[in-house]
Structure 1
Amino acid sequence: MMRLSPPAFWSDPQARLWPALLAPCAWGVAAFVRRRMRRAGWRAPVPVLCCGNMTVGGTGKTTVVIDLVQRLSARGRKPHVLTRGYGGHVAAGTRVDPTCHTAREVGDEPLMLARYCPVWVGGDRALTARHAVKAGADCLIMDDGFQNPSLVKTFSLLVVDGAVGGGNGCVLPAGPLRERVADALVRADTLLVIGADQTGVAKHVGALPIVWAELEQVDVPHKIREQPCVAFAGIGRPEKFFNGLRAAGIPLVDVLSFPDHYAYSSRDMLKLAAHASNLGAQLVTTPKDAMRLPASFRQNVVEVGVRLVWQDPQVPEHLLDVFLAHNP
């Protein structure tokens, strides 16, 4: 089984050799992003909320998007989500149709999001925004795109994984940052830290407002609490999923990590099934991974998702009040 993870030095602030060797490349990336973000973008006729992050890998922003979409829908709004559609190959500006599109065509996260509201994929956020507005959206939520200048943001929520923070503080490829922290913070309206702030990121954000939340497992079927389980995940940080299952009392006998957005092959699925069978265990995975599995295999896998729990239940409603008050 494939078990890949980011370079160890990305998460080690004490690492010196590789960050120093890669520093010239990192400076180039940071300069490129800084210049790129100076470009003028299209201003949509409806408010645009961006849920983005500073680092590569999973921070939980898609879960944040789902939470905010549900809250906006409960207010009677008509949110549409704009996302890149990582790994997909349909034309930019395509609306996701879960009844016919696959993860290979539109990406796994767009299929997940399409369970909750209309979703449009494409790297050109201005193009996808135009399609969404024409289709009736009265507000737009960007899943990622914080470093994409093509669409003017009304409100930017910068999402940080408290366990990871900014890693070693270096920009790609010397570290996990997509841009310099200072450049990111100046464009953000609020910082959302998910989980305990283990790296002290809150100490370095100045006057930027900070809000807090946790991820918790939901919809854990009773049957998997009573039998051994093999968990597998191809997400930004698989260990988050595995630790959440353990915290929920799921008896894990093995865990298997795959790269983020990993496209499971027939051989992978045969190996997973055989491995679980040999251990007398049930296969368990994430909703995002389930989107990349064929229905014939998915029926043998238990899907366990997460939900966002805000430290202060009033915070998300206040953020949405501020966001919706900024009418273009």
Structure 2
Amino acid sequence: MRAPGFWFRPPDRPGLLPRLLAPLGRLYAAGTARRLRRPGYHPGVPVICVGNLTAGGAGKTPTVIALVERLVARGHEVQVVSRGYGGHLAGPVRVDAARHGAADVGDEPLVLSAFAPVWVAKDRAAGVRAAEAAGAQVILLDDGFQSPAVKSSMSLVVVDAGRGFGNGRCIPAGPLREPVVTGLARADLVLAIGDGAAQAQFDAVWRAAVSAPLLRGELRPLAMGMDWTGERVLAFAGIADPSRFFATLRAEGAELIRGEALGDHQTLSDTLLRRLEAEAKAVGAQLVTTEKDAARLPAAWRSRVLTLVVRLHVADWSALDARLTALGL
């Protein structure tokens, strides 16, 4: 499913429907607050939670990859725990790309498993225990900021700088899982991801709400020997904001014939892919998708679709490094 457009209207001009849905949003926020009061598991190793305040993606997967690389460079054995959204395995199970598919463990854990051991567990505490037993010195909890199951040592909230926190209202009136002020009060760090224009937009609307140290990052294409200049492409993406992916392709010089925006984590059926391939062939274009979507491609399609891979670039990691040092990392 795609997020309703009114979720991302300016906070000072939300429209009629969000106002009508506001009482339900307050009930949702109250439910989150009650859930967070439950006791949770206290791990024997540091746990860093990478989460967000909104429904849908904000760049958590590239952030986890960047944190894995940074912690490994500091000499630590890092493991990741995820609920495996979209996968049917309850776990705890360690992701094995050779025998697991997205239907088993979800697309994001498959992507992450190329960088560190990843455990999928619907019960987050059980997943953390499994990672501890497997020798993890530090655990990255992918999502879980609104879950009381595990007590984290540090929480990093990721936000799409361009979208910010949407209209500032809670589900279903807006995209928030909890009010901005309430959520950010528990954050140790906030990472805003976006280009210069997006960062300026974030500053204009939301910067005053951020009391924790603020990191700024940008998703940049990874050079993999592919020159996109002049390449005719038909792109498809099932991520939180497909338009951002399409804009990246254009910025890389690709001639985007059309972009198909799919639902977040949408199943890539053979029927859908055949339709897209036929359309691409008719206009002399190449199919291209995101790294996360590529993890959901059926085996027969993986050689027929190009992937644009992006990685997180942060110019100044000093606030994070200071926090890691304080944790003994």
TM-score, normalisation: structure 1? 0.94
Amino acid at match of 1:273: E
2:2 is equivalent to residue 5 of structure 1 = yes
Amino acid at match of 1:274: A
1:168-195 CA-to-partner distances (Å, cap 9, x unmatched) read 0000000000111121011111111112
What's 2:126 paired with? 127
Pick from 194, 217, 221 the counterpart of residue 213 of structure 1.
Answer: 217
Aligned-partner SS, 2:64: helix
What's 2:277 paired with? 273
Determine the C-alpha separation between the residues in 2 that align with 1:95 and 1:123. Answer: 13
Amino acid at match of 2:32: V
Q: Do the aligned partners of 1:80 and 1:141 also contact (CA within 8 Å) in 2?
A: yes
What's 1:308 paired with? 312
Determine the C-alpha separation between the residues in 2 that align with 1:249 and 1:224. Answer: 6
What's 1:106 paired with? 105
Q: Do the aligned partners of 2:86 and 2:265 also contact (CA within 8 Å) in 1?
A: yes
Q: More deviation in 99-108 or 221-230?
A: 221-230
Deviating above 2 A after TM superposition, structure 1's stretches of 4 or more consecutive aligned residues are 219-227, 313-325
Aligned-partner SS, 1:222: coil
What's 1:189 paired with? 188
Determine the C-alpha separation between the residues in 1 that align with 2:248 and 2:228. Answer: 14
Q: More deviation in 207-216 or 62-71?
A: 207-216
Q: Do the aligned partners of 1:19 and 1:175 also contact (CA within 8 Å) in 2?
A: yes
Amino acid at match of 2:2: S
What's 1:33 paired with? 32
Change in CA separation of 1:105 and 1:253 when aligned onto 2, cut-off 3 Å: same
- Number of matched pairs: 321
Q: More deviation in 175-184 or 193-202?
A: 193-202
Q: Where does the alignment leave 5 or more consecutive residues of structure 2 unmatched?
A: none
What's 1:162 paired with? 161
1:215-249 CA-to-partner distances (Å, cap 9, x unmatched) read 11113543543431111100111111111111111
CA drift at 1:21: 1.6
Pick from 275, 289, 292 the counterpart of residue 293 of structure 2.
Answer: 289
Q: Do the aligned partners of 1:214 and 1:311 also contact (CA within 8 Å) in 2?
A: no
Q: Which structure 2 residues correspond to residues 45-60 of structure 1 after superposition, within 5 A?
A: 45-60=44-59
Determine the C-alpha separation between the residues in 2 that align with 1:27 and 1:184. Answer: 14
Amino acid at match of 1:240: R
What's 2:324 paired with? 320
Q: Do the aligned partners of 2:228 and 2:253 also contact (CA within 8 Å) in 1?
A: no
TM-score, normalisation: structure 2? 0.94
Change in CA separation of 1:61 and 1:312 when aligned onto 2, cut-off 3 Å: same
CA drift at 1:313: 4.7
Amino acid at match of 1:10: W
Percent pairwise identity: 45
CA drift at 1:143: 1.0
Aligned-partner SS, 1:269: helix
Q: Do the aligned partners of 2:36 and 2:147 also contact (CA within 8 Å) in 1?
A: yes
1:54-75 CA-to-partner distances (Å, cap 9, x unmatched) read 0012210110000010111222
Q: Do the aligned partners of 2:25 and 2:172 also contact (CA within 8 Å) in 1?
A: yes
Q: Do the aligned partners of 1:168 and 1:175 also contact (CA within 8 Å) in 2?
A: yes
